[in-house]
């Protein structure tokens, strides 16, 4: 399934994700509970953000109230897609539980993380 139309437009915002641009970056906000139920909705956004060569992606986890292994899987998939196409992916993450999940799983060493989108996009 194509996640972007021929104009390169971003997917429509939904209850689980929203995408927008800041300069050369595409920001994907994970919203609400990010689990197996919402994974397909979010994948549309992460796949669109990582679809082109050299994509510079920021995933903002601040609006996510809960993340589980499905969320971590989405992050790993998005990272692989971005890197395979010569791009990059960074995280905005401030919730202690989310930071702990990244640290415990070892994913904190694969993602640069900051407290704000502005800090990464500067």
- pLDDT tens, position by position, 75-96: 999 999 999 999 999 999 999 9
Residue of 34, 107, 41, 94 lying closest to 65 (CA atoms): 34
Please indicate whether residue 7 or residue 16 has the higher confidence score (pLDDT): 16
Q: Please, what are the domains in the chain?
A: 17-121 (3.30.750.24)
pLDDT tier at 5, thresholds 50, 70, 90: very low
Structure-token pair, residue 34: 């990010």
Query: What does pLDDT average to over the chain?
Result: 93
Contact of 60 with 92, CB cutoff 8 Å: yes
Tokens of residue 21, six digits: 């641009």
């Amino acid at each position: 399934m194509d996640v972007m139309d021929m104009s390169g437009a971003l997917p429509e915002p939904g209850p689980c994700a929203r995408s927008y641009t800041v300069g050369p970056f595409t920001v994907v906000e994970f919203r609400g509970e990010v689990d197996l139920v919402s994974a397909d909705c979010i994948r549309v956004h992460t796949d669109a953000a990582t679809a082109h060569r050299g994509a510079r992606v920021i995933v903002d986890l601040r609006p996510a109230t809960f993340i589980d292994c499905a969320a971590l899987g989405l992050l790993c998939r998005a990272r692989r897609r971005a890197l395979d196409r010569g791009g990059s992916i960074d995280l905005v993450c401030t919730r202690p539980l989310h930071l702990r999940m990244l640290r415990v799983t070892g994913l904190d060493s694969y993602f640069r993380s900051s407290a704000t989108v502005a800090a990464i996009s500067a």
